[in-house]
Amino acid sequence: MTAWIDGQAVERDAAVAAAAELLAGARSPLVAGLCADAAAVQAAFDLARTVGASVDPAAGAAVYADLGALASVGAMATTPAEARGRADLVLVVGQAPWTAGLVPDLAAGDPVRGRASGRPRTLATLGGTGDGAVRHVAYPAGEAGIPAAIGLLRGLVAGRVAGPHPLADLAARLRDALYGVIVYDPAEIGALGAEMLTGLVKDLNETTRCFALALGDAHQGRTAMQVAAWSTGQGPRVGFGRGRPEHDPWRFDSGRQVAAGEVDAALWLAALPAPLPAWTRTVPSVALLGTPTGSEARIVIAVAVPGETAGAALWHPGRAAIAWHEAGAPAAAAAPDAAAILADLHDRLAAAPMRAPAAPTELSASC
Amino acid sequence: MLTRIAGGRVVDPTAGRDSVSDVWIEDGRIVATPDRGPDRTIDAAGCIVMAGGVEVHSHIAGGNVVLARLLLPELGVSEPDAPNPHGSGRDVGLLYARMGYTTAVEPAMPPVNALATQLELAEIPLLDRGGLCVMGNDDQLLQLLRDRESADAVRDLVALNVATSRALGVKVINAGGADAFKDGAVRFSLDDEVPAYGLTSRQILDGLLDAVEALKVPHPLHVHCSNLGLPGADDSLIETLEAAEGRRIHFAHAQFYAYAALDKDNPLTGGFKSAAPRIAEALARHPNATLDVGQVVFGQTATISLDVLRQFAGRKGASPKKWIVNAGDAEGGGIVPFRYRDRGPTSSLQFAIGLELMLLSPDPERTILTTDHPNGGPFTAYPRILHLLMDKEARDREVAAHPKVAAERSGLAGIEREYTLTEVAQLTRSGPAKLLGLTDRGHLRPGARADIAVYRDQADRTAMFARAHRVIKDGTVIVEDGEVVAWTRGRTLQLSVEADAGMARRTESYLQGRFGAGLSSFTVPDAAFPGRRADEPVFEAVACRT
């Protein structure tokens, strides 16, 4: 089964037609989730532009913590592969990175490239409880929490904190490292924490090299961020209601919009698994899902799972880039790509197609 | 359908043509005057007819262009009816097309980020596009060179990277500089060693120059030299030119190197004056060399560069005071916002030097107009720049409005030359098309792609070039009176180059070891662009030189 209306299995075309009708009748539609490959995210933006929808990816919190810091102070970052090849000190901030695959991966080797090559790699954590299987030096964050501890560390590195301090030793390690890497989860430390961490990293680069390394989010937020940038000139959470893209993280927060009763129809795109918001069952919605049951929304359409049942351009956490993922499973009788369904919806809804009108045979000169 | 563009002043320097006549097009191509009547006539009386403009160096796609938008949300914001050159790909395509440009090349596509760059390029409508594959700081290449592997191995690695990323050519950015930066360096010149490799920048450059020649890549190696923007940077450019030893070489944004140190003993603190005469003279002596200008224009912009060493060194000049420097796999990238102040002595002098460089040019086909968008300012400044090149009086008025140092430390005020329309076409059409090796554009001879710009002949050249009367892409009218009338999607130009199977196997093993992902992860397959119809392919192949 590949399509449902009100929980009843239907032909896919009927579901797409019903979805088009639902969105066509909406005055304030929402396109959300965007947990999908780049082509589907692109198609979602194209559809949103056409129907005047707002757009909000599922990856919200993590993406925003980093985007907020980025727009405030910038960044000084590196990649997982460079960290693995060059870092002589890895500082793991907080708890979240310990549950990602990156930390054991970094703990497994020593630097092999650049000037730190030949040195051992030291692992330290600030405010994390660590992992018993990985040898590391632990520094408590203190009662004020991790962002405050990062601030103290920054003060210590810059020589602005007088007297003995429990983090003084960590500050010295960072200053002495030749290629330090500070791993963090933006969702855990928030925009202010990420901003302070960037400040710490930038200060350290006055005398040595040190770079931040943010964990990617689990819901293709980094793909949505890039597609949003080239499609609208801005980061995500954007609204097309006035015919042009408007970037406003507060106004176009889907949770807020639904709670305020501002949305009269929605499309939820999760070709890859993402937590289903409760509103798909309260707001008239279309859900495009990689693994549907049929009851998630008024209209549900099954789509291919990118990187599994179809080749796809997806965020690759190990490469920190959008990368091609070959299809894994055999594609027999697979559901169509989300991009194809979205393009179909787009074509049905496009009021003014982006095609040339028939050229007149005589064009006047007005020069 | 046979179309006649009738009665315009047709300017095509490649055919020695500057006369009122017709241009005929059929099936998307320019044809010789046929012996039958047209199905359609486009009246161009009172207009200038040129080939579509060709851009060789403009940062319009890629990870760093994305980051620049996220760093400076205020710069890329969309306003009603005001497309923004720092904004979406759609705005970029519209703004180029409106000026009569029909092809644009993104010069900095790192192979590790090729897929996202290509996805973004494909979303720039109206234009044909291309990307240059950046090499010169990647560990695989540096290892090959350090281990003194054969020139064939270097050639094969370059071919593999070009083929995998579907690039149009090859660029090198401060060869070895990004690697040196990661090891703590803040200065780096042609004969400095990359610390961990014991290789000089010169050796890396040499290897890449040879590889590009051996592969017969139509576009010469596109070189971003060391020491960009520093007093004395003219020495870097001239040394690099000499190092090419007659091999074809293109210098990106030469204006940023045309700074002669005033105090040779203290170059970094003594200020600078124009080195435009020195560079123009060197260009005259080296027919193997070309340059694009990187003209500075005034206002807020973001500088975007893979030269992380120079971007890091320039971070304290950021305005507003926020910046990005990423140590990536190979180069990474740096974004430093900058405001070129029209009353600022340094910006004014840079502005004067760029114009001087073009006006002293021994051959406008080899001194291409760029602003290194957005580094010197947005590409939308081209009409004004062309106006100043064509009009000595307007230039004098402009110079008079800036601090005196611009006139004192450059030769601009003393130059009488006014560019002709033929020279403008060389600077913006035939020159860049020849440089990219695109024989099907940049001219109006039979067989050329029907990419044509029709401008009203106005004394106000800024107005004339800012909003073309009509723009035709592949035979379709896409712009009328500055407004887009057909949102065609263009194609991305990629070089046809075969990758060596042996090098592919070696690279697969290298990539797996480094990234835990092999070559297929780095590819740019057609399947990544499912939104395109079969009869509207994203890519078009460009042949190597024979």
Predicted pLDDT of residue A354: 37
What pLDDT, on the 0 to 100 scale, is given for residue A356?
A: 37
Q: Is A318 on the interface with B (CB under 8 A)?
A: yes
Superfamily of domain A65-214: Dimethylsulfoxide Reductase, domain 2 (3.40.228.10)
Of B66, B177, B60, B155, the C-alpha closest to B107 is B60
Report the residue of B1, B42, B119 to disrupt the A interface, i.e. the one with the largest count of A CBs within 10 Å.
Answer: B119
Q: What is the pLDDT of residues B492-508, one digit of tens each?
A: 999 999 999 999 999 99
ipTM of the complex: 0.96
B345 within a domain of the structure (yes/no): yes
Say which residues have a Cβ less than 8 Å from residue A100's Cβ, sequence separation at least 6. A185, A215
CB within 8 Å: B517 and A79: no
Per-residue pLDDT at A329: 73
Establish if B131 belongs to a structural domain: yes
* Closest chain B C-alpha to A183 CA, distance in angstroms: 14
> pLDDT tens-digit profile of B260-281?
999 988 888 889 999 999 999 9
CB distance A129 to A175 below 8 Å: no
- Nearest-Cα distance to chain B for A142, in Å, is 29
Mean pLDDT in residue range B32-50: 97
- Nearest by CB to B112, which of A85, A242, A319? A319
Alpha carbons A186 and B238: distance in angstroms, whole number: 46
Q: Does B338 touch chain A (CB under 8 A)?
A: no
Q: Do A81 and B325 touch (CB under 8 A)?
A: no
Distance from CA of A337 to the nearest CA of B (A): 9
Check whether B414 has a pLDDT greater than 80.
yes
Residue-wise pLDDT tens digits, B195-248: 989 999 999 999 999 999 999 999 999 999 999 999 999 999 999 999 999 999
State the total domains in chain B: 1
- Domain ranges within chain A, ordered by starting residue: 3-59+219-349, 65-214
> Within a domain: residue B18?
no
Q: Is residue B256 part of a domain?
A: yes
Share of chain B above pLDDT 70, in %: 100
Question: B302-335: per-residue pLDDT in tens?
Answer: 999 999 999 999 999 999 999 999 999 999 999 9
B359: in domain: yes
pLDDT of residue B423: 98
Q: Is residue B431 in a domain?
A: yes
Q: In this predicted structure, what is the pLDDT of residue A216? A: 85
How many Å lie between the alpha carbon of B278 and the closest alpha carbon of chain A?
A: 36
Whether A333 and chain B come into contact, CB under 8 Å, resolves to: no
Residue B424, domain member (yes or no): yes
CA–CA separation, B301 vs B342, rounded Å? Answer: 13
Residue B452 touches partner A, C-beta closer than 8 Å: no
Euclidean distance between CA atoms B260 and B230, whole angstroms: 9
Pick left, alpha or beta for residue A74 (phi over 0 → left; psi -120 to 50 → alpha; otherwise beta).
left
Q: Do B195 and A365 touch (CB under 8 A)?
A: no
Q: What pLDDT was estimated at residue B261?
A: 96
* pLDDT grade for B77, boundaries at 50, 70 and 90: confident
Q: Is residue B373 part of a domain?
A: yes
Q: Does A321 touch chain B (CB under 8 A)?
A: yes
Q: What is the pLDDT of residues B96-116, one digit of tens each?
A: 999 999 999 999 999 999 999
Q: Which residues, including other chains, have CB under 8 Å from residue B491's CB and lie 6 or more apart?
A: B128, B129, B537, B538, B539, B540
* Mean pLDDT of the B531-537 span: 79
Shortest distance, CA A39 to any CA of chain B (angstroms): 7
**Domain interval for residue B357:** 53-440
The Cα B370–Cα B56 span in angstroms is 8
Blockwise average pLDDT, block size 10, chain A, 367 residues: 94 97 96 98 97 94 86 97 98 94 92 96 92 88 95 96 94 98 96 97 98 92 97 94 92 96 98 97 98 97 95 95 90 84 95 40 44
Which conformational region is residue B413 in: left (phi greater than 0), alpha (psi within -120 to 50 degrees), or beta? alpha
B45, B10 Cβ separation under 8 angstroms: no
Percent of chain B with pLDDT over 90: 96
B115 touches chain A (CB under 8 A): yes
CATH of the domain at B256: 3.20.20.140
Beta strand B452-456 pairing with B47-51? antiparallel
The answer to whether domain A3-59+219-349 has CATH 3.30.9.10 is: no
